[in-house]
Amino acid sequence: MTLAKIASAAGLLLGMSSVPASAQSQGTEAQPSRAQQLMGDVAPKLAELTDDVLFGDVWERPGLAKRDRSLITVAALIALNRPEQLRSHLRLARQNGVTETELVETITQLAFYAGWPNAISAVGVAREVFAEKNAQESQVPAPAADAVVVTKAGSQPTVAGSPDNFTGAVEVAMRFQRPLPARTGGGIVSFAPGARTAWHSHPLGQTLIVSEGSGLVQHWGGPVQQIGQGDLVWIPPGVKHWHGAREASGMAHVAIAEAQDGKSVTWMEQVSDAQYRGSVR
């Protein structure tokens, strides 16, 4: 699994760094993740779970916007009086579009629900974090909530496709899920030769743009269609289908789907070898 990229995001939360993930991870493919650096020697499984499950999966889930995830995480850390983790999460919250004003309001509100001393501690941490930001602003302008956001190539975690949902080696890079009211999400999915999705459907359909190689797509009961670099594919809403590489060639595509009630895919059974081999190769 490719985890170096998750690393820098994880590092922010583990309090190891104040450098934005996007600025830190470029050209540093082989570096161990921050979780690995922090605890990999003593607790390698915890480091792995932090990378894979917490930052590779939970934080990436489309059911809640990252901004909202930041807000509730900050609130929990204030309520639990965890200043070290709060420091990292205040930084991340700002990256995720929570303003300083909103963070101060959060602390003020929580004084009445989580206790005065917790709020006072949080103010102290927030003062330091806000000061860092102001010092950095002269070099790297912080993106405003209404600013265009450019995610630099390679700055996002690449995660392996779950064996529950894919056959063969599959990697998903540049995953994104836009916050409500936007519903668009997706990523770049790379299939090794012979690899494919399980049968599945998308509640509001899916667009695929083949960026590399050549592959196959089929809807239930329909013909297997060959697709290649530059082709555009539309999967209508609710249609059971699969897509993947040919046996002789890998394939990568950009996949874009809108979420309905926070869900953009319904997974079903695997595409058996017989089903796959019954197809064109």
Which residues make up the interface to Mn ion (CB under 5 A)?
A: 206
Cα separation values, 144 from 62, 100, 152, 248, Å: 22, 11, 17, 46
Measured from the CB atom, the residue of 155 and 206 that comes closer to Mn ion is 206
Euclidean distance between CA atoms 179 and 191, whole angstroms: 28
Measured from the CB atom, the residue of 59 and 199 that comes closer to Mn ion is 199
Measured from the CB atom, the residue of 112 and 234 that comes closer to Mn ion is 234
Instruction: Show the DSSP H helices in 96-244 as ranges.
Output: 100-111, 116-137
Residue 235 C-beta: closest distance to Mn ion, Å? 5
Residue 243 C-beta: closest distance to Mn ion, Å? 6
Measured from the CB atom, the residue of 123 and 204 that comes closer to Mn ion is 204
Euclidean distance between CA atoms 151 and 187, whole angstroms: 12
Measured from the CB atom, the residue of 73 and 190 that comes closer to Mn ion is 190
Structure tokens at 130: 């806000």
Residue 257 C-beta: closest distance to Mn ion, Å? 7
DSSP string, 10-72: HHHHTTS--S-HHHHSTT-TTSPPHHHHHHTTT-HHHHHHIIIIIITTGGG-TTS-HHHHHHH
Residue 228 C-beta: closest distance to Mn ion, Å? 17
Measured from the CB atom, the residue of 157 and 244 that comes closer to Mn ion is 244
Residue 202 C-beta: closest distance to Mn ion, Å? 6
- DSSP 8-state class, residue 115: -
Comparing C-alpha atoms, which of 250, 269, 243 is closest to residue 164? Answer: 269
Residue 230 C-beta: closest distance to Mn ion, Å? 18
